[in-house]
Structure 1
């Protein structure tokens, strides 16, 4: 499984520097893999509406574009910060933590 995240918008946003970062679950320790899988399941990620653009009317707000790919299945969701769903917020923060390490 592969999870990509792209952070856009906000006061310190530079479009040229906003490239997607990717986490390969197979390269993580087993407890981290399980945590990410549980967060994907808890957020019903693959059931969320497919979206690649932020909500209109919020140009200065930070938004995250998450893509989860597993085998033939791939799904992309764009959400505004702060993320309303606690499970989805947990997924965003967990992925962000792993791309920094």
Structure 2
């Protein structure tokens, strides 16, 4: 499984620096893999509405584009910060933590 995240918007946003960063679950320790899988399941990620662009009219707010790929299945959502529901926020924060290691 591969998870990528791209952070855009906000007052310190520089479009040229906004690149998606990826976490390969197989490269993580087993407890971290389990945590991410549980957060994907708890957020019902693959059932969320697919969206690849931020909500219109919110250019100054931070938004995250999150893509989860597993085998032939891939799903992308774009959400505004603060992220709701809490399970999805947990997923975003966990992925951010792993890409900043």
- Is the structural similarity TM-score above 0.5? yes
Distance in 1, matches of 2:8 and 2:57, equals 14
Which segments of structure 1 move beyond 3 Å, counting only runs of 4 or more? none
The alpha carbon displacement at 1:84 in A equals 1.5
The residue that corresponds to 2:51 in the other structure is 51
**What is the Cα deviation at residue 95 of structure 1?**
0.1
Structure 1: where are the runs of 5+ without partners? none
Pairwise CA RMSD: 0.3
Please list every run of 5 or more consecutive structure 2 residues that lacks an aligned counterpart in the other structure: none
Deviation string 1:49-98 (CA, Å, 9 cap, x unpaired) is 00000111111000000000000000000000000210000000000000
Instruction: Specify the alignment match of 1:17 in structure 2.
Output: 17
Structure 1-normalised TM-score?
0.99
Which residue does the alignment assign to 2:92? 92
Deviation at 1:5, TM superposition (A): 0.0
The alignment partner of 2:65 has SS state of strand
Q: How many residues align?
A: 101
